[in-house]
Each structure stands twice: as C-alpha cells, then as structure tokens.
C-alpha cells in the first residue's frame, strides 16, 4: 500500500514537473516569439493586393494591371452554400473554437506519431489565414507555434465573419486567382453567387492544392476532392441527400476564362497606367485603384473598328504582298491511309487531310464553302500537320485577322488549316480573284488567273471574317497592312479624350501614334495660318494669286519650287476658295504677306511651341511635325468658339475603399463666366453649395436681406458670429464642390479665350466649305448636315494623310501613314486615306448629336461681293455672292482693299506669266 502511495506521489510529481516544464517551455516560446508577431493594428490594416483597373467613363472595364487577380467580396455577399462547404471541408468547429482546435491538433499529432507521416491537418481556418498573411509555408515547430499565437490574437480582435471575409479574399486558388470571386471568374467565367452547389464545392476543394488540385491542372483529382467536400456537407446535414446526389452527378465544367475586358482600348489603358504609376509608384499595381477615364465605350469601340477597316481598305488598293512566312512541307509528312483523324484538343498529334481529295469537293463544293464548315472526311492522301499546327498556334491574331496555313491549292480554290485544327476552303470570289500582286505603291501586278498565282502549299496567310448584306459571315483572303493609322477624338469643351487609337493593333505595335508619332500635318495646318491672316487684316474675300513661285532661301537648303497637289495654277483666288480647295501657293503668299513672326505669335496661342516652329515660309504648308493629339487640340478651338483646351484622359481615381483620391479639374469653356452676377446671388450660391449644414441654414434665415444691404463683409460677419464659420463662402474650394457633386463649368479653371468671336466665326464658316464643296465633300454628301467643318491634309510623297474635323460637341483627327516614312501612293490623299476613317467613326459619334447652328456674333456682317474680284458687288449684279466680314473690314463698292504690292496689276501679270 505504501509502495502504491509512493508511486502515485512520484508519478504526480513527475507529471507536475512535466507540465511545469512544458508550461515554462511554452512561456519561453511566447516571450521569445511574441515581440516578433505583428500587431493587431497591422492585422486590421492588412490590405489586399488588388490589381489596378482601368475603366471607361461609363464604367466598363478596359484592362487590369497586376500579378494577382483579385476581386474582394464582402461577407454578406458570400453564398451560404460556399460558407457551409468551406466549414465542412476545412474547419467544422470554426464557430465554437477560439482560433485553435485542440481536438484537431491532437488528431494531427497522433497520426504523425503512429504513422510517421503528416496526416489530417490540425490547422483551423484562422491558423491557415495567419500563416498565409504573415508566415511562411516552411513546416517548423516555431511556425506552428506562431500560428497558434496569431490565431488566438486574431480571434480576440476580429469577429468570425471578419475572419471568414479575409480568408475567402486572401487565399490563393491557382491560375493567378486570389480569393473566391477571382477564382469563380477564372474557372467558370461567373461571379461566385452565380455558381452551383457543385461548383462551390469545387472551389473549396482547390484550397487544399491550388496549383496541383484545381479543375484545369488536374480535373480528376479536383473531382475527387469536390465529391469529398460534398460528402462532408451531407454528413453535417448542410445539404439534403437529393442535393448531394445532384451535385455529385454534375460534370466538371471548369475551363480557363480570361478576365472580362468589356472595351478593347489597350492604347488608352497604357496611357492611364503610366499616369497612375507617375502618381503612386509601384503601389499603383497592388492597392486596388480604379481609374475612370474620359473615354466613351461605344466611341472607343467604333474608333478601333474604323482604324482597322480604313487600313485594310487602303491596303487592298495596293495589292497582295504574299504570305507572311512559309512552312516546310517536310514538317508535314505523309502518313498511312488507315490512321484516324484526331481532334487537336484530344491529342498531341494532328493527323489531317490534304483536302484536294476531299469527297465534299465537286458538285457540292460551293455549298460546302458557303457554309464554311470544317472538313471531317478522311481523304486518300493524308499528312501529319502536328508540327504545322503547333507553330500556327503561336502566331497571334492581329486586328481580327487570323493566321492560316495553305494545305492544298486547286485551280481556283485553296484549302487552309486554322488554329483550331479545322480546314477551310476559299473560293475564287473570297479574295483570290482580287489578289493582284504588289509591285510598288503605285503599281499593281497582273490579275491572277489561278489560285497558284496567289498561294503555295505551306504559305501562312491571313483571313478576315466579313459580313454580307444578308448578315451572313464568311472568310476572305486578307493580309496585315503595312501602313499604320491613328485616331483621337476630344470634347471641345474641356479636352476630354472621348476615343483614342494609336495603331492597327496594340499587340502588333505598342507605339502610340496618336500621342507619340510626330508627323507633318501638311494642309491640315493651314486653318491656323488662315486664322492668323484674318487677325492681321485679311478677309475671306481677299484675292491672293495662285501662280508659280520660286524661293532661294538659305534656311531651306536649296531652291524651293512649291506646287499645288494638282500641279496646276489658278490665278487670283479668294481666301475662302483657297482654303477649301487647299491651294498651297496661296497659303505661302498669305504667310509671306502677314509675316512669319506674326503667324508664329498667333500659333503659340493654340499651344504650338514657337521654338520648334520653322521660321520660314514652309510653315504655311505644315512642315513642322506634330502628333495627332496636338492637331486635334488645335481644332478644338475652332469647334468651341475660340477657347484653348488641353487634352486629358484620367477623370477620377478611386482607392480600394471607393474613396476618390483624384479628380480632374480641366480648363473648361465657360461662355457665361464674364456675365455680371449680384453679390447676393454669389453668396447664396456659395452657401447653398457648402457641405456645412449650418451654412445652408444661414441662407434660409440671416441672409434673407435686400440685395442693396448684402455686402460681403456683413455676410461674413453674420456667418462667423452666429455659426463660427471660418471658410470663405464666396470662394468654396473645388474639392468641396466635387464632393457635393455640384460642379458646373463655372467651377473649373477657365479655358482661355485665344480667338476673337468674329475671327473664329469666319474661319469656322470657311472650314464648313471644305466639307460642303471642298476636299472633304464626301463627308458633306454622307452626313448632309450644316454643322460639320474640317480640313484634309497631305504631305509631299504623299507620306502622310490627315483629316481633322469637328461638330461643336466633338472634334476628331485621323492620320494614315507608314512608320518608315514610305510614300502612300500618288493617288492617296487626306480625302482618300484618312477621311473615310473619320467618316466611319463620326457616323456613330454624330448619331445623337443635334444640329447646332452657330450664332453670328456682334461685329460680323454679311454682304454681297463680286466672286471674281472679292470687292463689294454693285446693286443688281447677277453673279454676286454673299460673304461675311468683320464690320470694320467690309470692302467698299467696286474698290480694291488697302494697297497691297502682291495684288497690283503689274505683280499679278508678272506672276501669271
């Protein structure tokens, strides 16, 4: 008995010592590790690494930047089925433990001791979360102890709902997806709320092995894990037997989905990215900023299609340049007749047929081609196109043009293999007949007689899908255009960029020609010279001689003999006619008459750098290179009535919490800002727009006084005395008004007035004639509206083709040319290459725009003139026409304008002959 008592005491003391030692060890670990653990504040302030997202003005996604795809979701938006699946699979004691499950840890320890292998995890959801945020994945005792300490701390400071919300948003789920919302999009192309029970269970199963157990990397393993999750849900009675069976029977439907780009605008996205990076640095890609641009989604989409269509149309006029590359026939060897054709998706080898022996061809050939169906019959001669297909898949699509490799050439058809392992036969009418070979920009080769004149087996070509008048789609032979183009469209009121495209395809060339390419605008620059002319005393009726002229100018390096594009000379010409007919020699003489110095002073107001402008007469022909966006900005001053606005793209930026951290404050046209306003009205406007409710009350009580008594000082005295208000109610900040969403044009910085009302009205009317009867008459014929104006431009070569045009509410510039400054072709002008792009885009842009008739300003009069002399017409002159003048510059009846050596009879005769 005494021995038993002694053993009991010894055992008790040993146990007590063991527990004490364990406690001391644990206490030591706590004291050692606790100072290194993150604070509660850092846990609460832990920010999700959320990518930068760029949107249109109407909040459609353009692009996102960042390594991690994440779409944070709030707890109340998490489906209950998903929560139940997660709890059942990972931590069924979640709502009862305090961050650590003793039962789970003991179970894991027993399994490890008895088997020597890691078994069922003892980590709770809270422990997993702390490990993911703050610790490494290296399996050590100290890390596990840290997990426990952090989990206890986390459970003490956060609610269960907050922990779950952090868990589902932070955890990695494979394929660059972080969080369940991003995972739902990646695997199913849906939001998590749109998923089925089986799909929720599938996502929960991915937590176990994000890279190796997701339904794309390993569908079979993912399926087993999904069914295990469902079985756990059934065991815990979260779902019924019927729901369980239906979910188990549901097939795996996961596939990789890219994030949903709603608007193709990569050039815009890159511009926005650079802007945000300049503002926030590398954190721009991780802090969840949302950038809202000024771009309108419908206009941006139309701009892109207009550029592609315009370039392909230009390219088709200049012949077929042949295949992009040639595949070696040796890489597509013949195979036995008995080999079965397999789908590329199901096999690493593609055994495909040479379609020349396809039984579908023959009597039913036309029907087969029209339906564009892939060939499935096995011909007598077969080749293994596996190598070809592998290479073909690596060739990107550009501008909607897909690559294909020619597998068979018949008399007037070719058969091609597409990326998806489908075969397609193109008939003679599907682009082959018109594929005249390119010889030079001005010369085409002979028309092809057979398909063999167009393509050879192994040629990699491009196909374009087109739609006929019956809205049926078919494929046509095409090619990547060698030329490039750009388009930029602005709001004349504040310079907001409404649409911008910098080239045929961003992935083909990331160079943004709308803002980076400096090209000579040619005649597109003439309206700025003519504006200076009007400011320096010339009128729309001033006669300038269109005749040959030769200059010996040291600054021009050699003798200069400028010509009109037609090569002809038309004698004395009115300024209005010279502009809409785009007469070069008249423009030179205009500049010579007003002086280069005076012209440059005028041009500087449009935003052109005077230090970069040429100081010679070549300035009149637009020889100074400019990016299209600067040209469009200049034309905005004609559209808005003479105000200078600067292009801008980023309207606002929100942080991850939805708080606005940036709001653009562009210089804005304000036509009423100079109108007088009473002191009382100003005070009332200021107080009512304040976010201070006391100030709002002030206007309803103490400020109800007579206008004569409402002096600013008295108003401020009342405000300060009664309500302790310090802010100036007459000068509320832009930020305050922005937060209240009460901004008006008067609240923005004022766009400076750079052209007098009378001048801009006259130059606008002259530019409208370009559309009505000049080099852009095609636009006038198409739109048949009186409020469009603009100017074509073509440089020597021709190397560049331009059209800049506007409606009072939108201004757009289109440019076409080669990056290598190669000639476009003798028959290419602004009106043939650039204008069609502008017209295609503006067709949509003008659809809902009302016709705007500009009001004739004071100081402008309309009188009848003799069109031959530019002088005021005599009464009864049957040939007289109306012209508009500034009141002080109306010519006298039958009298010439002020003495001008260039208009004397002697000089006119000398120049003509």
Q: Count the Cβ atoms, other than its own, within 10 Å of residue 586.
A: 28
* Residue 181 CB contacts under 8 Å (≥ 6 apart), including other chains: 70, 71, 72, 73, 169, 191, 192
Residues 585, 526: contact at Cβ < 8 Å? no
Residues 624, 261: contact at Cβ < 8 Å? no
Active-site residue among 297, 306, 523, 804? 523
Active-site residue among 90, 147, 654, 883? 90
**What is the C-alpha to C-alpha distance for residues 710 and 729, in angstroms, rounded to an integer?**
13
Residues 520, 625: contact at Cβ < 8 Å? yes
**What is the C-alpha to C-alpha distance for residues 177 and 169, in angstroms, rounded to an integer?**
10
Comparing CA positions, the residue from 686, 714, 693, 691 lying closest to residue 702 is 714
Helix or strand holding residue 405 (H, E): strand 402-409
Alpha helices in 94-136 (DSSP H): 102-115, 125-134
Residues 72, 309: contact at Cβ < 8 Å? no
Comparing CA positions, the residue from 408, 409, 405, 376 lying closest to residue 388 is 405
Residue environment code for 647-673, b if the CB has 16+ CB neighbours within 10 A, otherwise e:
bbbbbbbbbeeeeeebbbebbbbbeee
Q: Count the Cβ atoms, other than its own, within 10 Å of residue 229.
A: 26
Is 371 part of the annotated catalytic residue set?
A: no
Helix or strand holding residue 308 (H, E): helix 297-316
Comparing CA positions, the residue from 138, 136, 126 lying closest to residue 101 is 126
Comparing CA positions, the residue from 747, 790, 787 lying closest to residue 767 is 790
The CA–CA distances, whole Å, from 239 to 202, 231, 232, 581, 909 equal: 15, 9, 10, 79, 101
Is 911 part of the annotated catalytic residue set?
A: no
Secondary structure of 161-219 as H, E, C letters: HHHHHHHHHHCECCCCEECHHHHHHHHHCCCHHHCCHHHHHHHHHHCCCCCCCCCCCCH
The secondary structure of residue 887, as a DSSP letter, is G
Phi/psi at 601 (5° precision): -60, -40
Residue with tokens 């206490």: 27
* Residue 676 CB contacts under 8 Å (≥ 6 apart), including other chains: none
End-to-end CA distance of the chain: 144
249 preceded by cis ω (within 30°)?
no
311 Rama sector, left if φ>0, alpha if ψ -120 to 50, beta otherwise: alpha
Residues 54, 274: contact at Cβ < 8 Å? no
* Residue 32 CB contacts under 8 Å (≥ 6 apart), including other chains: none
Q: Count the Cβ atoms, other than its own, within 10 Å of residue 41.
A: 9
Residue with tokens 């009846």: 893
Comparing CA positions, the residue from 438, 436, 437, 423 lying closest to residue 475 is 423
Comparing CA positions, the residue from 371, 316, 620 lying closest to residue 481 is 316
Taken in order 865, 870, 872, 873, the sign of the CA dihedral is: negative
Name residue 398's beta-bridge partners: 401
In degrees, rounded to 5, the angle at the alpha carbon of residue 131 between the alpha carbons of residues 129 and 135 is 145
Active site residues: 90, 523
């Amino acid at each position: 008995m005494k021995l038993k008592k002694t053993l009991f005491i010894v055992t008790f003391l040993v146990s007590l010592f063991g527990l004490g030692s364990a406690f001391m060890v644990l206490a030591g670990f706590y004291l050692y590790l606790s100072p290194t653990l993150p604070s509660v504040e850092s846990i609460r302030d832990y920010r999700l690494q959320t990518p930068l997202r760029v949107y249109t003005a109407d909040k459609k996604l353009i692009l996102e930047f960042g390594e991690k795809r994440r779409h944070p979701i709030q707890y109340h938006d998490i489906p209950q089925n998903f929560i139940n699946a997660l709890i059942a699979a990972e931590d069924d004691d979640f709502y009862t433990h305090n961050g650590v499950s003793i039962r789970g840890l003991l179970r894991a320890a027993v399994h490890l001791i008895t088997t020597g292998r890691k078994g069922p995890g003892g980590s709770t959801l809270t422990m997993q979360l702390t490990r993911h945020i703050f610790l490494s994945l290296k399996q050590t005792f100290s890390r596990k102890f840290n997990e426990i300490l952090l989990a206890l701390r986390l459970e003490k400071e956060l609610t269960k709902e907050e922990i779950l919300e952090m868990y589902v948003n932070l955890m990695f789920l494979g394929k660059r997806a972080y969080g369940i919302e991003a995972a739902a999009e990646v695997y199913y192309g849906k939001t998590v709320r749109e998923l089925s029970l089986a799909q929720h269970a599938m996502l929960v199963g991915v937590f176990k092995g994000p890279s190796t157990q997701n339904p794309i990397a390993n569908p079979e393993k993912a399926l087993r894990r999904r069914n295990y999750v469902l079985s756990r849900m059934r065991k815990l009675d979260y779902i019924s037997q019927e729901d369980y069976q239906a979910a188990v029977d549901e097939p795996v439907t996961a596939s990789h989905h890219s994030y949903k780009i709603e608007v193709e605008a990569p050039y815009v996205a890159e511009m926005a990215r650079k802007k945000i990076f300049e503002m926030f640095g590398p954190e721009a890609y991780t802090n969840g900023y949302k950038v809202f641009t000024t771009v309108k989604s419908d206009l941006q989409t139309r701009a892109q299609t207009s550029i592609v269509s315009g370039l392909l149309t230009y390219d088709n006029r200049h012949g077929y340049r042949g295949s992009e590359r040639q595949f070696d026939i040796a890489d597509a060897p013949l195979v036995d007749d008995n080999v079965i054709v397999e789908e590329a998706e199901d096999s690493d080898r593609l055994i495909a047929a040479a379609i020349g022996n396809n039984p579908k061809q023959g009597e039913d050939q036309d029907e087969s081609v029209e339906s564009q169906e892939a060939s499935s019959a096995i011909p007598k001669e077969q080749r293994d196109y596996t190598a070809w297909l592998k290479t073909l898949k690596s060739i990107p699509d550009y501008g909607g043009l897909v690559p294909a490799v020619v597998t068979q050439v018949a008399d007037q058809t070719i058969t091609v293999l597409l990326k998806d392992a489908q075969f397609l036969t193109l008939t003679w009418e599907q682009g082959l007949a018109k594929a005249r070979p390119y010889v030079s920009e001005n010369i085409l080769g002979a028309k092809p007689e057979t398909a063999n004149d167009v393509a050879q087996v192994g040629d990699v070509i491009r196909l374009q899908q087109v739609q006929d008048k019956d809205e049926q789609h078919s494929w046509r032979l095409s090619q990547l255009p060698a030329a490039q183009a750009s388009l930029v469209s602005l709001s004349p009121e504040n310079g907001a960029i409404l649409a911008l495209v910098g080239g045929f395809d961003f992935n083909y060339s990331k160079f943004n020609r709308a803002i980076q390419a400096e090209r000579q605008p040619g005649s597109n620059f003439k309206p700025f010279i003519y504006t200076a002319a009007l400011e320096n005393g010339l009128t729309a009726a001033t006669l300038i001689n269109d005749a040959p002229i030769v200059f010996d100018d040291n600054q021009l390096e050699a003798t200069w003999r400028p010509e009109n594009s037609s090569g002809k000379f038309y004698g004395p010409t009115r300024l209005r006619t010279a502009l809409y007919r785009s007469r070069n020699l008249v423009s030179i003489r205009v500049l010579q008459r007003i002086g280069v110095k005076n012209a440059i002073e005028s041009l500087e107001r449009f935003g052109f750098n005077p230090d970069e402008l040429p100081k010679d007469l070549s300035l009149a022909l637009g020889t100074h290179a400019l990016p299209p966006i600067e040209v469009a900005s200049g034309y905005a001053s004609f559209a808005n009535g003479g105000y200078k606005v600067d292009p801008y793209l980023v309207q606002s930026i929100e942080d991850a919490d939805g708080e606005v951290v940036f709001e653009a404050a562009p210089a804005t046209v304000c036509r009423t800002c100079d109108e007088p306003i009473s002191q009382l009205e100003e005070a009332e406007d200021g107080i009512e727009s304040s976010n201070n409710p006391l100030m709002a009350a002030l206007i309803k009580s103490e400020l109800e006084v007579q206008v004569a008594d409402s002096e600013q000082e008295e108003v401020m005295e009342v405000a300060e005395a009664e309500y302790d208000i310090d802010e100036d109610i007459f000068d509320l900040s832009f930020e305050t008004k922005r937060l209240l969403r009460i901004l008006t044009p008067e609240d923005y910085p004022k766009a400076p007035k750079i052209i007098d009302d009378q001048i801009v009205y006259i130059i606008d009317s002259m530019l409208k004639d370009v559309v009505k009867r000049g080099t852009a008459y095609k636009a006038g014929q198409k739109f048949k509206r009186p409020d469009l104006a603009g100017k074509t431009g073509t440089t020597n070569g021709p190397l560049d083709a331009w059209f800049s045009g506007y409606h009072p509410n939108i201004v757009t510039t289109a440019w076409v040319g080669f990056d290598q400054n190669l000639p476009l072709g003798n028959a290419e002008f602004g009106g043939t290459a650039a204008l069609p792009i502008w017209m295609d885009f503006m067709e949509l842009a003008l659809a809902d725009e009302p016709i705007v008739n500009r009001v004739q300003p004071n100081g402008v009069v309309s009188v009848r003139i003799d069109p031959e002399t530019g002088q005021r017409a005599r009464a009864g002159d049957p040939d007289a026409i109306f012209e508009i003048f500034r009141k002080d510059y109306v010519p006298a009846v039958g009298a010439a304008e002020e003495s001008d050596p260039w208009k004397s009879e002697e000089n006119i005769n000398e120049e003509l002959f």
